[in-house]
Each structure stands twice: as C-alpha cells, then as structure tokens.
C-alpha cells in the first residue's frame, strides 16, 4: 500500500497568543494517514483554538501546519478545504433556511467550479455539475442515514440528526482529513455508538480523523492515538491505555474514570 512515512497532517510548534495569554503553547504532533487521533483535555485547554488554527480560521502567532507535506499556515479556510481537510464545529452551524440536501450540497463547493456566468445562463456544463453535486450530496446523506429527510429544512431535524448533517456536509467535500470538534456533545448513548461505528467505517475507507472530544467512552473506543492538552500545552501523547494511566493526565482531569460512560 502506501509506504510513505510522511504524516498527512503535521502540527509544528503552534503557539497562539491572545494579548499576554497563551491559548496554545508550542503544540506539536503528527497525524498519520488512516488513523483516528483524539485530542482531549479539560475545558479551556485550547482544543477548539487548535482546530481554528489548523483549519485557517485563526492565524497562529508562531509555528506551522503542514497538510500532505505542504505548508498551509495562514491559508484561508476555504483554500484548506479545497486541499482535502475539512472540519465540523462545536456548536452546530447549519445553514438556516436551507434543506438537508442543500446543506450537504454546500459541502461539495470545493469539488465544483461553475460560477455566476455559467450558472446564470444555465450552460449545459453547469447543469451537469448541479446533477453531480446532488448525487454526491445524496451519497453522503445515505452514509449518515439522513437520506429520507433530504427535503426538509435542516433546522427541523433533531439535535442528534443535525450533528449528523454537519458531518455529512463535511464529508461531502470528499476530504482526506476530517477534523471533528466534539461530535458527540449532546448525543445520547445510542447516537454516540452510531457515531463511533460511523467513524470506524470512515477510517477503514482511508479517511484520517482528528477528533476533539470530552466523551471518554467514545474516545477510548475509536482512537488509535491520543494527544492530551492542558492550558494550551501538550501534557501527554500515546495510545489510549498509555494515556489513561498517565498520572499527569489523571491529575489534569481529576475524575477521568468517572467520565467513562457518557
């Protein structure tokens, strides 16, 4: 298969300052192709800020991010998405007033090109592309099990389904690297185990996944590898077993065992 030892995502000494406060300090780690890596840590540890920096929503104060060997530090979010890395958000940010299908179709933006002129004048190439986008969107909806609700307003879905739609939307861009920001937040145990199964299926298809998560059950189930953040710094890295028994991690969390069933 792939003999490349180059990690698909390399995070290199990322520091992010807000005034005098360091939200992220010298954070470095690699994500290998086809692995599921979790980023955990207490609230306020900087996990979402890390995602924001990696996906171009914020700029780091120093350090670099490399995607597939290319330096993407400081690139716009939409450029990074075109390169194959996409993220979901901690708070559901569905597009209001758009149907489930339309939300998913927006995810296909980076895979399509036709613009104002071609679409305004309905060139055949634009019409073809539109059909293709609809097909891709329906595919991902099927993958997450929402294909029956495609005509409804996104905001009509239950919370758990909205989270699935967010995931579908991200998948619609056909990414190589998927960044999920607390995908299990607010999900009930059934939905969480569905999510866990879905993530593993995606990983088996070759997707690389980086997850920020509080739900320890999910983390332990799906992760191949874990990175622990506290106060913006990495305090531990390793397999789930290693991290679970790391005294520094236990200390940072205080009560990590009690959290193990969502």
- Which residues make up the interface to another protein (CB under 8 A)? 19-20, 55-57, 76-79, 81-82, 86-87, 89, 91, 93-99, 102, 105-110, 112, 114-116, 119-122, 126, 129-130, 133, 153, 169-170, 173
Nearer to another protein among residue 27 and residue 171 (C-beta): 171
Crossing angle between the packed helical segments 189-204 and 159-171, to the nearest 10 degrees: 10
- d(Cα 261, Cα 58) in Å, to the nearest integer? 33
Nearer to another protein among residue 127 and residue 248 (C-beta): 127
Nearer to another protein among residue 54 and residue 202 (C-beta): 54
User: Helix, strand or coil for residue 81?
Assistant: helix
Crossing angle between the packed helical segments 159-171 and 124-144, to the nearest 10 degrees: 130
User: Helix, strand or coil for residue 243?
Assistant: helix
The least CB distance from residue 111 to another protein, in Å, is 8
The least CB distance from residue 124 to another protein, in Å, is 13
The least CB distance from residue 72 to another protein, in Å, is 14
Cα–chain center distance at 98: 22
Strand intervals (E) in the chain = 9-18, 21-31, 36-40, 62-67, 70-71, 85-87, 177-181, 208-212, 225-230, 233-238
Nearer to another protein among residue 101 and residue 227 (C-beta): 101
CA–CA distances in Å: residue 145 to residues 63, 139, 217, 253 = 39, 10, 23, 35
The least CB distance from residue 80 to another protein, in Å, is 9
The least CB distance from residue 36 to another protein, in Å, is 20
Nearer to another protein among residue 144 and residue 236 (C-beta): 144
The 8-class DSSP code of residue 95 comes to P
Nearer to another protein among residue 46 and residue 56 (C-beta): 56
CA–CA distances in Å: residue 18 to residues 11, 23, 46, 143, 147 = 19, 7, 12, 40, 43
The 8-class DSSP code of residue 8 comes to S
The least CB distance from residue 157 to another protein, in Å, is 14
């Amino acid at each position: 298969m792939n003999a490349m030892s180059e990690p698909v995502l390399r995070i290199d000494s990322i520091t992010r300052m807000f005034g005098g406060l360091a939200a992220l300090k010298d954070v470095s780690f690699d994500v290998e192709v086809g692995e599921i890596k979790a980023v955990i840590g207490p609230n306020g540890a900087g996990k979402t800020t890390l995602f924001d920096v990696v996906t171009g929503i914020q700029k780091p104060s120093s350090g670099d991010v490399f995607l597939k060997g290319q330096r993407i530090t400081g690139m716009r979010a939409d450029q990074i998405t075109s390169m194959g890395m996409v993220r979901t958000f901690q708070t559901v940010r569905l597009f209001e007033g758009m149907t489930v299908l339309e939300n998913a179709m927006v995810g296909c933006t980076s895979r399509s090109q036709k613009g104002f002129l071609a679409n305004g004048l309905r060139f055949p190439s634009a019409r073809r592309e539109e059909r293709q986008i609809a097909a891709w969107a329906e595919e991902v909806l099927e993958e997450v099990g929402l294909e029956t609700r495609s005509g409804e307003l996104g905001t009509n879905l239950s919370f758990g389904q909205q989270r699935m739609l967010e995931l579908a939307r991200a998948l619609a861009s056909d990414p190589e690297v998927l960044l999920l920001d607390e995908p299990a937040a607010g999900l009930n145990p059934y939905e969480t185990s569905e999510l866990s199964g879905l993530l593993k299926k995606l990983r088996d298809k070759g997707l690389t996944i980086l997850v920020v998560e509080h739900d320890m059950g999910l983390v332990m189930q799906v992760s191949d590898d874990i990175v622990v953040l506290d106060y913006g710094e990495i305090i531990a890295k390793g397999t789930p077993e290693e991290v679970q028994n790391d005294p520094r991690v236990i200390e940072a969390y205080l009560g990590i065992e009690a959290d193990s069933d969502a």
